[in-house]
């Protein structure tokens, strides 16, 4: 986790030095929480130069326990001096979620400086799940999805956002993901079956348990 935090801090610093700012999209779920807590301790970062976005969000209020925004806020955003106006929440709890999706894709940068992703045990990333129709989307950059394996609808970025991001980091932790991670790198490239393969060329950080079935040599 320390190595991932150091890499992300360096990527933020490089973007700020090059352009004066950094657009970053945060991942949700349980995996990134300790990373965000560690990142909040990094000194010397220009937090005021960040524009913060999200890769996906469940259709719940921002104070709901399942909210990605709430997790990021508790673990990172309230611990660093970043202006509230620089944090762009996905309003997935709005009455018309499709309107929210279209509004979000209008404010989302064409090319994010840094995209943080996770990977589920089924190979999903953001809220792009295996065999989801959203994987075929090429025009819309944010869409509403209703995953068959999940009880709550979600907003998610689509493949073009991943493909256009300048830097991507993928976080994979836990032995339950070992088989999937091995398939990502050592099996056929089939993003419809393993959506996280859309980010196969990213920088990946995995713990020993998650990397346990990768072959060596």
Q: Is the CATH number 3.40.50.1360 carried by domain 2-206?
A: yes
pLDDT in tens, 143-161: 999 988 888 999 999 999 9
DSSP code of residue 26? E
pLDDT tens-digit series, residues 108-144: 999 999 999 999 999 999 999 999 999 999 999 999 9
Confidence band, pLDDT 50/70/90 cuts, at residue 29: confident
The pTM for the full model equals 0.96
What is the average per-residue pLDDT within 93-98?
95
Spell out the residues 6+ positions from residue 216 whose beta carbon is closer than 8 angstroms to its own.
none
Q: Starting at the edge strand that comes first in sequence, how are the strands of the sheet with 203-206 ordered? A: 50-54, 22-26, 114-118, 168-172, 203-206
Where do the DSSP E strands lie in the chain?
A: 22-26, 50-54, 56-58, 114-118, 142-145, 154-157, 168-172, 203-206
- Strand 142-145's sheet: what is its strand order? 56-58, 154-157, 142-145
Mean pLDDT for the chain? Answer: 95
pLDDT at 182 over 60: yes
Percent above pLDDT 70 for the chain? 99
What is d(CA 101, CA 85) in angstroms, rounded to the nearest whole number? 19
What is the rounded distance in angstroms from the CA atom of residue 21 to the CA atom of residue 14?
Answer: 9
Q: How confident is the model at residue 217 (pLDDT cuts 50, 70, 90)?
A: very low
């Amino acid at each position: 986790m320390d190595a991932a935090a150091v890499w992300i801090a360096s990527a933020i610093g490089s973007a700020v030095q090059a352009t004066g700012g950094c657009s970053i999209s945060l991942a949700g779920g349980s995996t990134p929480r300790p990373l965000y807590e560690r990142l909040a301790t990094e000194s010397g970062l220009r937090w005021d130069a960040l524009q913060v976005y999200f890769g996906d969000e469940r259709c719940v209020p921002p104070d709901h326990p399942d909210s990605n925004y709430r997790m990021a806020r508790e673990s990172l955003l309230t611990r660093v001096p970043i202006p509230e106006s620089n944090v762009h929440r996905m309003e997935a709890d709005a009455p018309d979620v499709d309107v929210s999706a279209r509004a979000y894709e209008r404010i989302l940068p064409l090319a994010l400086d840094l995209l943080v992703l996770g990977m589920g045990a089924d190979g999903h990333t953001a809220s792009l799940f295996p065999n989801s129709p959203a994987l075929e989307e090429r025009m819309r950059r944010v869409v509403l999805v209703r995953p068959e394996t999940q009880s709550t609808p979600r907003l998610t970025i689509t493949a073009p956002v991943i493909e256009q991001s300048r830097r991507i980091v993928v976080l994979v932790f836990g032995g339950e993901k070992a088989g999937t991670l091995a398939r990502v790198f050592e099996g056929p490239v089939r993003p419809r079956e393993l959506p996280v393969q859309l980010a196969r060329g990213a920088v990946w950080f995995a713990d020993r348990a998650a990397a346990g079935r990768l072959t060596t040599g």
